[in-house]
Amino acid sequence: MAYIPPQKRHSKGPKRPTPVPEMLVPEFNRKLNLGSRKHKAGMKDDEMNCIRNLINSAILDPEVKGGLRWPMGKSYSGQRYRVFGVWHTEFKSYKSPSLKLKVRNADRFDFKTATGEATIEINLKLRRIVSEIQDGKIDIDSVDSGFKDNLRLIWDHFLSCEQLLT
Is-contact 65 117, C-beta < 8 A? yes
Indicate the pTM of the whole model: 0.51
Tell me the pairing of strands 59-60 and 115-125: unpaired
Query: From CA 112, how far away is CA 35, in angstroms rounded?
Result: 15
Q: Using one digit for the tens of pLDDT, what is the confidence trace for 69-96?
A: 777 777 777 677 777 778 778 888 888 7
Tell whether the model's pLDDT for residue 58 goes beyond 70.
yes
| pLDDT of res. 124 | 83
Tell me the pairing of strands 68-69 and 85-95: unpaired
Q: Could you give the C-alpha distances from 139 to 25, 127, 155, in angstroms and in order?
A: 51, 16, 24
Tell whether the model's pLDDT for residue 120 goes beyond 80.
yes
Alpha helices in the chain (DSSP H): 45-56, 127-135, 140-154, 162-165
Is-contact 98 153, C-beta < 8 A? yes
3-state DSSP assignment of residue 59: strand
Angle at 112 between CA 75 and CA 83, to 5 degrees: 25
Query: From CA 126, how far away is CA 86, in angstroms rounded?
Result: 32
Point out which residues pair with 14 in neighbouring strands: none
- Of 23-27, 62-66, 95-99, the one with minimum mean pLDDT is 23-27
Which has more pLDDT, 90 or 16? 90
Tell whether the model's pLDDT for residue 15 goes beyond 70.
no
